[in-house]
Structure 1
């Protein structure tokens, strides 16, 4: 599946970009997917991707929902929202064009909120403020994918329940800031692979920025900024999970689009240059892990 993302225009405003200019920034409106129709081989690829979204095991709603319902044992089920969040995000864009593969979309979307915990998160019960990396990092990752998926659903369908669920999840990220958003977690929680702190926590930025954009609630945008500030302190990518870091880079770009603050654009460009200069494969993609020892790529990172 090809996902089109709007990039902000480059504005030449002189050598200095003042705080006043940032305050008066008019965030660009994302183009509607309805304004774009693929043709030829691109359209054929999109149709095959839509069909794949309804092929086994994704033809079973209980499989898609397992990472939030916790009713089915499958690999990576602890990443609560990883599949369900990405599936509903894809469905929001593709279901109008390909209704048959996404016939279960309304039922799946209606069931997701029933698994939301009292504090707003999805997945296993937590014992915060004590962080258990093997439990809590997968929750952060999956909840980040679910947050952006819920916002995408609201943007495309206007579904108020999806927005309400997203806001409760956004409130969870705000409430847990004193627990997670600490530099010491880079060391004490640690990890660079799928359940690493730098992989899972920073991937939440883009969902918070998107939620702030659609709600006009500054709290969500500010929380995205706070997490991004910590993400900026990581400048050595050796050994990182590439998909996780690229999600953070999208968050930087989204912050620039939302605020006009050049530091976020510069952060995205810095990271992008690092990927292009140090980690890009001859095929144009990147490895799953940014390491010479890693011998595989990953579809998620290639799409990023």
Structure 2
């Protein structure tokens, strides 16, 4: 059964809530890391509970129904839900009939002025009006993603009405006064509620070629500013929209602005050791947010596609294998982790169903479509994850067992004559070895692909030790995975003075009992002797696991940066 058939089966069968948990997932014969993570969150969104995303539930933020949390962000939940499922359907080829019902009910609730939700105050905007703009911005993106899938004229007409509303209020909202009035202290209803409109406006322009949307999008992009303590998610959405505007116009001004924003983030001191970013820029760097992690991942993927600069793909890869995976709950939700004073995640504990879960689902199609790229007769396999590439008589499927044995298999189903395949060597791989149908291939390129070829990629990886930022301890990695000590595996390690325990790196070795669960990374599991701070005369053992394994656990404390005994 191929992935599209499997997804179609999964979407069609009502699953029990218990199947949302990693230890009760479909059989291992279908298990591959990224596709299983996608299935986990897709199942949560389609069939999960607490809460269930029913059509009536989704429409509550369109009607601003009082009672449930955050309905003042009109269109936020519904827009994300529509966009995530529409993008998944487009990328994986699986229909979700419930999408049509929800979208038609949404656009029926649009105000004559073009916006959605409660009344909008044109003269004296308040935080509730900025919240409405935030939700409407997420809804505009969702409507455009649905239109991209269906080409439904009614949906495009609704999106245009919303775009016209934004054009109408543009002169007032795209002003320094408005930016100053809604500073970072307003946080979720700060000025980022306006600047994030770049994403929907860029999509509108790409389809309609209406210069009003392009001009407003460009003007908003000029106002994007990374302000201390402001909302990271909104800032990164704004930058992603700027990259989209570049893709629609090929005006390098927009690409330079997005790249400058990327550099500002990288130099901010707020990029976490897991590759992610916090919910708020310093000095209010208190926790992570799944939405921001997804935005940071997707921004790097879009910049890679726009520039082919490997630094963006390297960054995206680090986020994907660590922060993005660590942020995913066993229920399929995404959410928040608390950070210590040096910005290291401690425990992932809040399922943010109102935004992060849906934004997490939306990230998977971008990952899937970035794994392969093609130029002429050259196919490139860039991102070591499960994926399928189909284009112009070429069909190749990638299935990863990287976490189990360090290999990935590419199966060629169809191929035109003269097709080449080149495999990227990531920075974390010491070497890469290719086999074609059991025979070694020199280098990283396979020439003249033929149907039924099986290309096996073996990544040689090593455990490494590096200082954490600010010399707050040592980090341990294996290949792309960051390692840490989870309390769920090491209950005796964690006590009041556990940050002062001292690892003995010279004793670091492969774990004698590697992890055994769906999202385990047994190839990276390690153990080390350590000296307990509370009773140093009794050395003990601690297991280190890939932080990505958090998905298979209930929320548990982690230690990621360690004190180590220096060797002479």
Sort the TM-score into its range (normalised by shorter chain): 0.7 to 0.9
Question: 1:91-240 counterparts in 2 under 5 A?
Answer: 91-95=85-89, 102-132=96-126, 134-192=127-185, 193-197=187-191, 199-231=192-224, 234=225, 236-240=226-230
Partner of residue 267, structure 2: 277
8 Å Cα contact 1:240/1:290 also seen in 2: yes
Partner of residue 36, structure 1: none
The equivalent position to 1:253 in structure 2, one of 223, 236, 243, is 243
8 Å Cα contact 2:184/2:228 also seen in 1: no
The equivalent position to 2:35 in structure 1, one of 17, 38, 43, is 43
C-alpha spacing 1:72/1:99, structure 2 compared with 1 (3 Å): farther
**TM-score, normalising length from structure 2?**
0.44
Distance in 2, Cα, partners of 1:261 & 1:59: 39
Partner of residue 268, structure 1: 258
Structure 2 unmatched runs, 5+: 1-30, 296-568
Give how far 1:230 is off: 2.1
SS at match of 2:188: coil
Distance in 2, Cα, partners of 1:109 & 1:74: 21
Q: Which has the larger radius of gyration?
A: 2
8 Å Cα contact 2:82/2:146 also seen in 1: yes
Partner of residue 464, structure 2: none
Distance in 2, Cα, partners of 1:61 & 1:257: 33
Partner of residue 26, structure 2: none
8 Å Cα contact 2:246/2:255 also seen in 1: yes
8 Å Cα contact 1:243/1:300 also seen in 2: yes
Bigger helix fraction: 1
Deviations 1:62-117 (A, max 9, x none): 111111022352111100111100100111123475869x4522211110012111
Distance in 2, Cα, partners of 1:203 & 1:246: 8
Structure 1 unmatched runs, 5+: 1-38
Bigger strand fraction: 2
Partner of residue 285, structure 2: 294
Name which of structure 1's ranges 56-65 and 247-256 shifts more when overlaid on structure 2.
56-65
Partner of residue 71, structure 2: 77
Give how far 1:59 is off: 3.4
SS at match of 1:174: helix
Distance in 1, Cα, partners of 2:93 & 2:156: 24
Distance in 1, Cα, partners of 2:207 & 2:251: 19
C-alpha spacing 1:191/1:277, structure 2 compared with 1 (3 Å): closer
Give how far 1:286 is off: 0.5
Partner of residue 312, structure 2: none
Greater relative contact order (CA < 8 Å, ≥ 6 in sequence) = 1
C-alpha spacing 1:268/1:77, structure 2 compared with 1 (3 Å): same
SS at match of 2:244: helix
Give how far 1:291 is off: 1.7
Name which of structure 1's ranges 138-147 and 173-182 shifts more when overlaid on structure 2.
173-182
SS at match of 1:184: helix
SS at match of 2:267: helix
SS at match of 1:286: coil
C-alpha spacing 1:188/1:49, structure 2 compared with 1 (3 Å): same
C-alpha spacing 1:191/1:237, structure 2 compared with 1 (3 Å): closer
Distance in 2, Cα, partners of 1:188 & 1:254: 28
Name which of structure 1's ranges 138-147 and 88-97 shifts more when overlaid on structure 2.
88-97
Name which of structure 1's ranges 63-72 and 293-302 shifts more when overlaid on structure 2.
63-72
Residue 64, structure 1, aligned to residue 64, structure 2:
no
